[in-house]
A and B are shown apart, each in its own frame.
Chain A
Amino acid sequence: MNFYQIMRVMKITMVLMTCFFVQVSAFTYAQRVTLEKRNSSIYLVLEEIRKQTGFSFLYNTAIFNNAKPVNIRVTNVSLDQAIKACFSGQPYTYLIKDKYVSISKLPENKTSTPDRLQQRQVKGRVTNMSGKPLSGVSVRVKGAQAATSTDANGNFSITITATGASLLFTFLGMEPQEIKVGSNDSILVKMSEASERLEEVAVSVQARRRTNTEAAVLEERKNSSIVQDAISAQLIERTASITTTQALSRVTGVTVTDDKYVAVRGLGDRSVIGQLNGVRLASSDPDKSSIPLDLVPASLLDNITVYKTVTPDKPADAASGIVELKTKSVPDSMTFELIAQTGFNSNIGVGGQYNSFWNSDMGLLGTKINHKNLTSDFLNLSTQYPKGLGDIHNLIANSGYSPAARTEVQRINGIMQSFDPVMTTKHRRAPLNQLYSATFGNSYKLFDDKHTLGVILGGNYYRRTTDIYNGDLTQYSIYQGVVTGNPDIYSYRHIPNYITPNSLYMGKYQSYKENTGVETLNYGVLAGLTYRFNPRHEISAQYVGSWGGESKATNMRGAYEYTGLTGDVYSTIYSLKQTLRDLQTFNFQGEHKFLKSSYSPRLSYNLSMSKSSQNDPDFRYVSLIDYVPVGGTYYLKPIVGTTGGANSEWAYTEHLYALSSGYVNGFGTYGTIQAEPNGRRWRNLNEDSYNHKADLSIPFPFLGQKQELKTGVNYLFRERHFTENILFLPGSNFNDLGRITLLDVEGNLNRMVSNEVIGIKVPSGGNGEGEIPVGGFLYNSKKSPNNYKGFYETRAAYAMLDLQLSKNIRLTGGVRVEKTNIQTRVDTKDVYVDPKLASVDEEGNILVTPFGDANSVYKTKYVPYYSANLTYKYRKDMNFRLAYNSTLARPELREITNVFEFDPYQMGLIVGNRDLINQKTQNLDFRWEWFPAAGEVFAISAFGKQIDNQLVKVFSLKTEGLAATYPEFPIIQFQNDKNTGRVWGLEFEAVKDLSKFWGQKDVLFFGSNLLIAQSEIKKSEERLAANRFIDRHAPLNSPLFEQAPYSINAWLNYNNKKTGTDLTTTFNMVGERLIQINLTGEPDLYTQPTPTLDFVFSQKIVSRLTFKGYAKNILNPAIKTVYANPNTGGKWYGNEYINRSYKRGSEVMLGFTYNLF
């Protein structure tokens, strides 16, 4: 079944579902009924009545599940009488209105048949000993599958089958209770806090700890010794978050960029570390240290916790926070849940189109992306022909004389022509978005109930498409003119005379219409096992595997605005990208309590291994300039002639073409490096990570309280292997024949990479007899200079005390020592460098390396980091917290590696820095928290950070300014900033149960959080000079890169347990963020705040089936990036200069959840 069929089926299903709820009858009949039926099904009787009267019946079929057969005998009675007769002795009631009869079931206790009391509903309320309601308490019928949990008010209701049943109540930190249900339908349960006796079973590893509700995570937060925020599975579901990053954007102080990169309190991904079940996640992005959170499906998680202050038992390199993902825990009873959803993005619609490209099919599991990997045959060419393509061309030219050479040349030709001959995008029909998820969990008692085995299995799959249609992209500049790197299409750069320091304007340089289609595929599996030998010893193991595929096709059509040339200069950009990522984590953990006493030492350990990879095969980028001079023009066309004769002649053309490229000035031995954005690129990153840790906690009595000493070790080893190949295009400015090739193919980019140009021009019979073959364009099989491998090792040990100084004051603190060892090595063998810049020996080694030493080593001794967290429990439900800690941030492998590479993603020359050292951050936090009732919280936090040796991304551009004849690109390098950076901010949070104002039955929750952060960094001299080139008043300081001044989240949840309705509206808005630093005189680029409004609903249809759906980004505002100075409302001297504006489209999903138990 192809996806069109699937789509049709889905459409039909939608229509049928509509009909199911509204069974409209088009016929009219007399309203008298005559009927005689014996032992007939109720449906048949109703159908007969419908036929005779024309009245339609509305009912939920489930209500007739236990209906008795009907005996009826009526003659010429009214409809009312007939139905009455039909339902006599049965627990149904009905309502006749217009032409409809709606039937519902009477409440069970009103039924008159006593033998049906076998099943009954028990209601109750769970509180702690002081009468405070407990929410999230697990309620289970002993020996049966039925289970529920208490709501925010501690209320629950559960159906039991027999009068003698017992109910089991369990809750984290509370003593379990077993209550026998008598004839009483309403029970009150008081749970006591876990006592000494209970601590025996308090050994509970992550895999069993169940904190999947908001109430539970708040409870955990309340009891912790540090500042932390979290989002539970419950809220993840309510916000319809598919990926972990989507869920994270709802957490206070977290901002998410591009659905991928996470910043906590404004500090970017370097300062945030990701942990999955306590184990460090390995990065799969070659250029960022970002954690692949978007790979982990949110539906496999119990909660996400963000630790904003840390204790010494946590890694010290989380300068701004630790994002801890907890996968689904093993439930107490069997659960099995299935979710299937389908939907679409409103920019596409059902059966609509999105931008894609030929052979972009990723396959069901994304595995087809890897089919585009470079073959070993291709890569081996670089060693087989170490002197490069000249060798191959020579072989080709002589292959006619030797059958063996001919075979080899045919082989090479096959390799060269095997690349997809496509550089352009095209629109195609989009499949519907799909989401499937399944989870299963259970606990089994073994060996006479002495051992417990818990199992959790989960799987998730989603696939969706988004499309930006006709977005606007405008490049403003103070300059005008055209520089393309090709002398044919050149118009000198100048600043128009109306732009002066006294009249600040920018003119349009290039403007484009953007079409970008993205297809995303993501799936993950989770498997967890826990085994408890006895209440004091438990081990568990988890496996999480997730895979993500993405196809992105971008097309931009536009032109240079003021060229100074006679004729139009068009520009077309295509970008075709596919990415396959995976992340697999396996961990084994154990918790052991050695003695029965509550003062027993406890050992916990976690051994883990993870593998992650990111593969970007055949990323194609091309930027074609098409100049149409008025009246045409001429170019020298090469001709194959005799040596003595002319080897070119003038040819007429109406177009001149170029693939825009330029240089980076001021780098390396030669002072200049070619910057070629156009090309096909292969990038592959593999990282293996080992993280082992062990913690020993020793409780002891002191000051009449139980205190704890904790110590432990942590070892992390990451090993990375990165390979990159860049294949230049035939039309490149750096290919001597590039411009001729573009003219030969008439500017058709697909022809440019077709067999017409690529590979060997095998002489056909049209040539002379026995003519030698000629090599056309051959792709270079040598590696780019950007290949490296390296490792990243940290060792840490800590000691800390958790002291309960008095009943209300808790102090947690200690010291942690960490040691860094980062080493990388650049692969300089068989590397392709511009032949004009370096020569290569017989072996393929570069003789003159523009970049110096290939090795980078950074080692430190054990460096201490301190932390202290003071918690003052003002009231049982109110905390004041004060925390200080010092942390570090390490350079990433890529940043320290001595490579240089022009990167078309960032449009700059990325250069490593061997001299990078660790950044040191000191954090001071204050928080006031109030938990007025279950599930409610009010909190205010203040934080300040002082950053020394801050690792900053530095853009530097050496420009020739007006004299430039080619596009110039900056050098992008990480450096330790000599200036001390400071970040400070406030966080507000409020979650309130509003139902008290509304009434008792419905539960209405409101939640919101707000982050206000201020960050400043002094601009580098170069950057300031660039800014002040024209704008003499450009500010001295700049916000940190990608740092937002504020971020706000609000949600409103309506949950009606009676009708099974759950509605959530969420709102999110992030303040302007600096996203691009301009060094050519234009102001920097900032994103503008965009309000995001989502609506999520779920409706229980029958007991196990829930209808769910969401509409995201309902407002669908234009997402804008502007040239601006900070804090000006996105303006530059009163004018708005929009760089990019597009609409993401609303996303609609509908589907069902089926709970088997």
Chain B
Amino acid sequence: MKSSKKIFVLLLLGLFVSCSKDKFVEEVDNRYNTGASKSSNVRIVNLGGSNQVIVNGDSITNFVIRKGETDPMAGKYPPTKYFPVDGRLGTLWNVPQDLLNKQNSADIEVTYVAYQGIGIGLQKKFKIQDKGNSVDYYTLLGDYYNVGLPEVIEVPRSVESPRNPENCKIRIINFAEKPGESQVTQEAIEDLYGPVSLTWSDGTAINNALSHVPVGKVSDYVEIPYGTYQLKVLTENQRQLPSTGSLTMDYMTSSISYIENRTAVIPTYLTYNPIANFKPGGVYTVVVYSQPFDYPNINDPEYTHNQVQNGFQIIADMDPPVNNTYARIQFVNARAEAGAVSLKVGGKSTEAVGFGSHTAYMPAIHGKLQFQAILNNTALTAVNYDVKAGDNYTVWLYSTATGKDSLVVSHNNLSGVTFGGQSGTQDATYERFKTNFYTDVRFFNFNIVFPYATFTSDNGKPFSNNGWAFNERSTEQLTPGYIPWINPYVRLVQMGGNTKIQTQKIMAYHATENTTPGSWADEVAIYTTQDLIAKPELFAVRGALPNADIGSYSIALIGKQTEDPRYKSRMMIVKHTK
């Protein structure tokens, strides 16, 4: 029994020690304080160029001034609670609820501080009120710079998605003004004041409600199919308004201009209108207002100055939803035969088009889909394709060398994003470039007369891409129906790119398996980059055409060996951005 007692003592000891140890191990968390505050229904659209805010007498931006570019702290602004990025007011600001008082209102004072430059009259005081509905307070520059409208305008805003989920909603606000006191001594510039119309890139009207909107008026929202568009705002005399963010402009054409030899200002006749992606379910406002743009000094074009001009800006009225559903599909009939063919995708069909024509875009829900080419209610051919949301496809119908009808699918990149990675780095997150003002061209061969086709610039010179990711093989020795897929785009124009771009020829060559470019295909009419301009009239009002129009294009060699002019070999241009 003695030993049993010992064991008992040991057991007790065991139970005693067996209390688990409490361990306090601090979680290491070095994050910033990211206490997100809830937004009210009020938004301030700061078109008046202010950079600081005082709410109810409280400065909530940093009011930090840097002494120009030479300041070692240039560009470095400390954040504040409500402006966690740089402590300064940007274009859009959703007023947080906790800044509103019990009556759901607040006294706002926006102002502008800077070491030098404009600043007079940019201070505005106004009251905001959250009445339960979404509302924007648009601030404009002020009467010192332009006259005609109040400095602060309250505009109700819709945050309702469009009825048709494939569509987006868009409206136009015309806050155009005439130059004010400060502009009297400035250079004379193009007059872009008056009613405006929102149009597609070729100047055709979108909807009556968006056309001829008078100064000071807000149009209704209009539903348009979602997509990538270069929307334009035209005055009554068909002049294109520039858009916020334009490079240095020419006085009388309001187009992007280049300065040659430090003396001459050369207009390009291309007005800066960004290519933008309007997402399904998105709500957008195009607002026209008088804003500072960059112009060359008339006597010293090396330097530039600001001058106010009416331009537009596209504002999202609610955070655009992520498109996880739709892709857009376009059909091209490159089959050199008679008859209008349509493309059937799922239960829907495009319109029927004849040889050398393409259809409008049709949205389709992503997934594994079958594309069928339908001629007179019978399917010529079909192809299965895994359609991804957010993508953009062109489906080409052509005849193979054996005379079989075939469908191939090309994927269009309308985002303006190109790959910039040349080195073998581990992380390519930032190895890309993005622009919203570009001319991208890619090439296809759907003509069996050309077992190998090469596309070139003037006199057989390969297309140069000025250092962009571009694979020359994408223009060389293309076999019929082949979809070049490695860096296939030639970028002809981009904002901030090469200023020396001239009008270029686009030529087709008979290449062979082993030679390129081979011999020039004189039976194929030469195109130039100006052929990309769909409506030259739109540019004609300013007196000249640009070297090329903006947008994403596919150029395909189509046709066949025939005397019939309808089916003769030729190039066709398909523009993907409307």
Contact indicator per residue, chain B 266-291, by CB within 8 Å of chain A (1) or not (0): 00000000000101000000000000
Complex-state Cα separation, A651 to B435, whole angstroms: 22
User: Is the CB–CB distance between A735 and B78 below 8 Å?
Assistant: no
Q: How far is the CA of A15 from the CA of B8 in the complex (A)?
A: 10
Collect the chain B residues with CB atoms within 8 Å of residue A651's CB: 85-86
Residues of B with C-beta under 8 A to A780: 426
In angstroms, Cα B495 to Cα A233, docked, is 84
- Of the candidates B5, B320, B424, the one whose C-beta lies within 8 Å of that of A766 is B320
Minimum Cβ distance to chain A for residue B467 (Å): 7
Q: Report the separation of the CA atoms of residues A768 and B78 in the bound assembly, to the nearest whole angstrom.
A: 31
In angstroms, how far is the closest chain B Cβ from the Cβ of A212? 25
- Which of the candidate stretches B135-143, B485-493, B530-538 sits at the interface with the other chain? B485-493
Knowing A348-B20, A401-B483 are in contact, say whether A393-B421 is a contact too (CB < 8 A).
yes
Proximity string of chain A (330-351) to chain B, C-beta cutoff 8 Å, 1 when within and 0 when not: 0000000000000010111111
Q: Which one of B14, B322, B391, B487 lies within 8 Å of A398 (CB-CB)?
A: B487
Encoded as 1 (CB less than 8 Å from any B CB) or 0, chain A from 1013 to 1055 comes to 0000000000000000000000000000000000000000000
CB pair A643–B32 under 8 Å, yes or no, is no
Residue from the list B21, B77, B428, B487 in contact with A349, Cβ < 8 A:
B21
Provide the main secondary structure of the chain B interface. Answer: loop
| B412 lies within 8 A of chain A by Cβ | yes
Q: Are B227 and A769 neighbours in the complex by a CB distance under 8 Å?
A: yes
B322 touches A764 (CB 8 A): yes
Q: Give the most central of A387, A640, A653, A757: most B CB within 10 Å.
A: A640
Alpha-carbon distance between A761 and B413 when the two chains are bound, in angstroms: 16
With A and B bound together, what is the CA distance between A770 and B325 in angstroms?
A: 13
Q: Is B467's CB under 8 angstroms from A643's CB?
A: yes
Q: Taking A58-B1, A776-B428, A780-B426 as contacts, is the C-beta distance between A1107 and B389 under 8 angstroms?
A: no
Chain A residues, CB < 8 A from B25: 355, 427, 515, 555
Q: How far is the CB of B10 from chain A (nearest CB, A)?
A: 7
Those of A745-795 within 8 Å (CB) of chain B = 746-748, 757, 761, 763-772, 774-780
Q: Which residues of B contact A344 (CB under 8 A)?
A: 18
Q: Is the CB of A652 within 8 A of B77?
A: yes
Interchain CA distance A347-B412 in the complex, whole Å: 63
What are the residues of chain A within 8 A of B303 when measuring CB–CB? none
Q: Which residue of A lies closest to B28 (CB)?
A: A572
**Interface size of B in residues (CB-CB distance below 8 Å):** 92
CB interface residues, B 381-396, toward A, < 8 Å: 385-386, 388-392
Residues of chain A within 8 A (CB-CB) of B417 are 640, 767-768, 771-772
Interface string of B366-388 (1 = CB under 8 A from A): 00000000000000000001101
Chain A residues bordering chain B, tally (CB within 8 A):
106
User: Does B348 reach chain A (CB closer than 8 Å)?
Assistant: no
Asked if residues B228 and A736 are in contact (CB atoms below 8 Å), the reply is no
B419 closest partner in A (C-beta): A397
Residues of B within 8 A of A654 (CB): 32
Give residues 641-686 of A contacting B (CB, 8 Å).
641-645, 647, 649-655, 657
- Among the interface residues A104, A396, A769, which one has the most CB atoms of the partner chain B within 10 A? A769
Q: Tell me which residues across on chain A come within 8 A of B388, comparing CB atoms.
A: 406
Given contacts A352-B23, A394-B419, A748-B31, is CB(A652)–CB(B431) below 8 Å? no
Q: How far is the CB of A448 from the nearest CB of chain B, in Å? A: 47
A768 nearest in chain B by CB position: B415
Is A869 an interface position by the 8 A CB rule? Answer: no
A769 adjacent to B23 (CB under 8 Å): no
B12 touching A18 by the CB < 8 A rule? yes
CA gap between A1132 and B60 in the complex, in Å: 57
| Residues B426 and A778 in contact, CB atoms below 8 Å apart | yes
Instruction: Say which residue of A351, A352, A776, A1097 sits within 8 Å of B427 (CB atoms).
Output: A776
What is the bound-complex CA distance between A15 and B425, given in angstroms? 63
The answer, yes or no, to whether B515 is at the interface (CB within 8 Å) is no
Most buried by B among A632, A728, A779: A632
Asked if B554 lies at the interface with its beta carbon under 8 angstroms from chain A, I say no
Known: A650-B75, A652-B79. A764 touches B421 (CB 8 A): no
Bound Cα distance from A104 to B424, whole angstroms:
85
Q: Indicate if the CB atoms of A764 and B424 lie closer than 8 Å.
A: no
| Interchain CB contact under 8 A, B426 and A735 | yes
Number of A-B contacts (CB under 8 A): 274
* Interface membership of chain B positions 468-496, coded 1 if the CB is closer than 8 angstroms to chain A and 0 otherwise: 01000000000000011111100000111
A564 within 8 A of B: no
Please report the C-alpha to C-alpha distance between residue A774 and residue B31 in the assembled complex, in whole angstroms.
Answer: 26
Centre residue among B18, B392, B411 by max chain A CB count within 10 A: B18
A1128 at the interface (CB under 8 A from B): no
Q: Does A277 contact B (CB under 8 A)?
A: no
Bound-state CA distance A387–B277 (Å) is 36
| Residues in A neighbouring B434, C-beta threshold 8 A | 640-642, 768
A515 to B26, CA, bound (A): 11
B30 at the interface (CB under 8 A from A): yes
Min Cβ gap A511→B in Å is 15
> Which residues of the other chain, B, contact A406 by a CB distance below 8 angstroms?
386, 388
Contact residues of A between 692 and 748, Cβ < 8 Å to B: 728, 730, 735-737, 740-741, 746-748
Query: Which residue of chain B has the shortest Cβ distance to A727 in the bound complex?
Result: B426
| A102 close to B (CB within 8 Å) | yes
* A447 proximal to B (CB < 8 A): no
Q: Which residue of B lies closest to A738 (CB)?
A: B427
Q: Does A469 contact B (CB under 8 A)?
A: yes
A632 and chain B: residue at smallest CB distance: B78
Query: CB of A835 within 8 A of chain B?
Result: yes
> Does chain B have a CB within 8 A of A1109?
yes
Contact B414 A401 (CB under 8 A): no
Chain A residues within an 8 Å CB radius of B325: 765
Closest A residue by C-beta to B474 = A401
Q: Which B residues touch A653, using CB under 8 A?
A: 32
Partner of B486, one of A351, A398, A730, A1099: A398
Interface contact A770-B21, CB-CB below 8 Å:
no
Nearest-neighbour CB distance to chain A for B484, whole angstroms, equals 8
Closest to A764 in B: B322
Contact call A14/B14, Cβ cutoff below 8 A: yes
Instruction: Tell me which of B5, B12, B78, B427 contacts A652 (CB under 8 A).
Output: B78
Residues of B within 8 A of A1007 (CB): none
Q: A771 is contacted by which of B321, B409, B415, B428 (Cβ under 8 Å)?
A: B415
Give A835 to B386 CA distance when docked, in angstroms: 38
Closest to B1 in A: A102
B163 lies within 8 A of chain A by Cβ: no
User: What is the distance, in angstroms, from B68's C-beta to the closest C-beta of chain A?
Assistant: 15
Tell whether, in the assembled complex, residue A347 and residue B390 are in contact, meaning their CB atoms are under 8 Å apart: no
Scoring B residues 388 to 406 as 1 if CB is less than 8 Å from chain A, else 0, what string do you get?
1111100000000000000
Indicate if A567 sits at the interface (CB-CB under 8 A).
no
A599 CA to B323 CA, complexed, in Å: 95
Q: Which residues of A contact B495 (CB under 8 A)?
A: 642, 644
Q: Is the CB of A778 within 8 A of B424?
A: no
> Would A352 and B20 be within 8 Å (CB), given that A393-B428, A632-B78, A1109-B10 are in contact?
yes
Query: Which 9 interchain pairs have the tightest Cβ spacing?
Result: A768-B415, A765-B323, A644-B496, A390-B424, A397-B419, A352-B20, A771-B415, A401-B485, A350-B18
Give me 8 A-to-B residue pairs in the complex whose CB atoms sit less than 8 angstroms apart, sorted by A's number. Answer: A18-B11, A353-B20, A401-B484, A403-B386, A642-B497, A769-B414, A772-B419, A1099-B7
Other 13 A-B pairs with CB < 8 A, given A398-B419, A652-B79? A15-B15, A346-B17, A348-B21, A424-B28, A570-B30, A651-B86, A652-B85, A768-B277, A768-B413, A770-B415, A771-B417, A774-B428, A776-B427
Q: Which residues of A contact B (CB under 8 A)?
A: 11, 14-15, 17-18, 21-22, 58, 102, 104, 344, 346-353, 355, 387-391, 393-394, 396-398, 400-403, 405-406, 424, 427, 469, 515, 555, 557, 570, 572, 626, 628, 631-632, 634, 638-645, 647, 649-655, 657, 728, 730, 735-737, 740-741, 746-748, 757, 761, 763-772, 774-780, 835, 1059-1061, 1097, 1099, 1107, 1109, 1146, 1148, 1150
Chain B residues at the A interface, C-beta cutoff of 8 Å: 1-8, 10-12, 14-15, 17-21, 23, 25-26, 28-32, 73, 75-79, 85-87, 227-228, 277, 279, 320-325, 328, 385-386, 388-392, 409-435, 467, 469, 483-488, 494-497
